[in-house]
């Protein structure tokens, strides 16, 4: 078991308030990714959990056992927290073989030679690097060195594995390969993993839960699909997604059926089942609609739209630019003064100023309160195909 609970953590560096009243629960077996831009507090959170940093306020428990209590100045040493940490730099001993690098920590724990050999071979096999056991770090590629660093971390069967941007030094292809390996490792071992990254693709593809940080504050904790479909505020929506989400300003008002919105795209009514009542003011108010590029579909002039029972927003648009990128095509559309970016899978060709019909299911659209920036109408992942 490895359930971690942080309560009301405050961390300062001088007058710089890095973590602000942070409360976060990581369940046993979670692959929890701490996500956010540089300087948001995610690495500091990891270092507080590991014991490398001491907060000025708050408590932390692992499996119900207290490891931090700032009020009593109790901080359990890192060596007694039954966790291993993998840094951005691989930190391998250059004068030791791969086998000896992995065995080093086990020898410190005074394990028998037979047990060490078995655990090292198991770790090598798990990370698929058994053939490199007798090589030195400088004889390995960056990806191979990273596998050694992770093998060293898992050799002692830790309850908790902490990874601090471990893939940032690898090229794009290796990052994809290592993401696959880490996800497989989590499934096979069942170890609780806490992973720090600023790369949203890493977070979305590997995690069971994502904790999104902004300026030392925990903005949202949820599953990857929920974070992508329903970012909690405009800042989160702008951060998550590539290409970025479309924002369309408008005015909104509660109705008996839900939420009526007017914008450059026309008038539409969103069903009240997907609304957050406490974030929706009475009377008319300014709002922002969020529409993901891949949710926008395009039909050429004369083409019939596919039949569906789903309510849709349908608008006439002109093609502003087309950006073919091999596996996908980005199309910028103009609807009056509004500009929409659509993403189509595969290669598509549209002429400049070509008239088309753009449509999107109302279920896929987010609506935010412009004043508070908070989400007031959620998108849903149901009925994803039109």
State residue 331's pLDDT score.
Answer: 97
Closest C-alpha among 302, 340, 304 to residue 320: 340
State residue 340's pLDDT score.
Answer: 97
Alpha helices in the chain (DSSP H): 42-50, 98-108, 113-126, 142-154, 172-189, 200-206, 224-229, 234-239
State residue 385's pLDDT score.
Answer: 44
User: 3-state class of 100 per DSSP?
Assistant: helix
State residue 168's pLDDT score.
Answer: 82
State residue 88's pLDDT score.
Answer: 73
State residue 109's pLDDT score.
Answer: 84
Specify whether the backbone of 131 is left (phi greater than 0), alpha (psi in -120 to 50) or beta.
alpha
Using CA atoms, how far residue 85 sits from 43, 47, 90, 195, 289, in Å, is: 12, 9, 11, 10, 41
The number of residues in the chain equals 386
State residue 205's pLDDT score.
Answer: 94
Complete DSSP assignment for 134-146: T--GGGS-HHHHH
For CA atoms 69, 70, 74, 78, give the dihedral sign: positive
d(CA 269, CA 380): 15
State residue 383's pLDDT score.
Answer: 47
d(CA 10, CA 59): 10
State residue 302's pLDDT score.
Answer: 82
Per run of 10 residues, the mean pLDDT along the chain (length 386 residues) is: 92 96 96 94 96 97 96 94 83 91 89 92 89 93 87 87 87 84 88 94 95 96 96 96 95 91 94 80 93 96 84 94 93 95 94 95 95 93 50
Contacts for 222-230: CB closer than 8 Å, 24+ residues apart: 225/381, 228/204, 229/378, 229/379, 229/380, 229/381, 230/366, 230/375, 230/378, 230/379
Contacts for 303-306: CB closer than 8 Å, 24+ residues apart: 303/357, 305/357, 305/359, 306/386
Complete DSSP assignment for 310-335: S-EEEEEEEEEEEEE-SSEEEEEEEE
State residue 382's pLDDT score.
Answer: 57
State residue 346's pLDDT score.
Answer: 93
State residue 381's pLDDT score.
Answer: 64
State residue 1's pLDDT score.
Answer: 60
d(CA 366, CA 120): 50
Domains in the chain, CATH or no CATH each: 4-233 (3.40.50.300), 238-377 (2.40.50.140)
């Amino acid at each position: 078991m490895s359930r971690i609970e942080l309560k009301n953590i405050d961390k300062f560096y001088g007058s710089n308030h890095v973590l602000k009243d942070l409360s976060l629960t990581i369940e046993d077996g979670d692959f929890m990714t701490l996500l956010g831009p540089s300087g948001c507090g995610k690495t500091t959170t990891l270092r507080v959990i590991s014991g490398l940093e001491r907060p000025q306020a708050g408590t932390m428990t692992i499996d119900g056992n207290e490891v931090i209590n700032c009020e009593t100045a109790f901080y359990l040493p890192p060596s007694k927290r039954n966790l291993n940490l993998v840094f951005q730099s691989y930190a391998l001993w250059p004068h030791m073989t791969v086998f000896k690098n992995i065995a080093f920590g086990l020898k410190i724990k005074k394990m028998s030679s037979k047990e060490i050999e078995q655990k090292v071979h198991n770790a090598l096999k798990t990370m698929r690097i058994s053939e490199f056991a007798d090589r030195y770090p400088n004889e390995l590629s960056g990806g191979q060195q990273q596998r050694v660093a992770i093998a060293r971390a898992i050799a002692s069967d830790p309850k908790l594995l902490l990874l601090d941007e471990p893939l940032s030094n690898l090229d794009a292809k290796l990052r994809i390969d290592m993401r696959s390996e880490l996800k497989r490792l989590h499934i096979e071992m069942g170890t609780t993993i806490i992973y720090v990254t600023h790369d949203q693709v890493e977070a979305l593809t590997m995690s069971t839960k994502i904790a999104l940080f902004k300026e030392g504050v925990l903005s949202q904790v949820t599953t990857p699909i929920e974070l992508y479909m329903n970012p909690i505020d405009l800042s989160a929506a702008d951060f998550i997604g590539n290409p970025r989400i479309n924002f369309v300003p408008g005015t909104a008002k509660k109705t008996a059926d839900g939420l009526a919105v007017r914008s450059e795209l026309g008038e539409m009514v969103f069903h009240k089942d997907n609304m957050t009542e406490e974030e929706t003011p009475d009377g008319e108010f300014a709002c922002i609609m969020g529409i993901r590029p891949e949710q926008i579909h395009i039909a050429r002039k004369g083409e019939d739209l596919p039949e569906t029972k789903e309510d849709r927003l349908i608008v006439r648009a002109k093609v502003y630019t087309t950006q073919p990128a091999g596996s996908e095509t980005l199309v910028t559309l103009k609807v009056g003064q509004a500009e929409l970016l659509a993403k189509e899978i595969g290669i598509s060709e549209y002429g400049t100023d070509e008239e088309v019909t753009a449509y999107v299911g109302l279920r896929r659209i987010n609506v935010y309160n412009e004043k508070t920036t908070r989400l007031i109408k959620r998108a849903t992942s149901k009925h994803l195909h039109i």
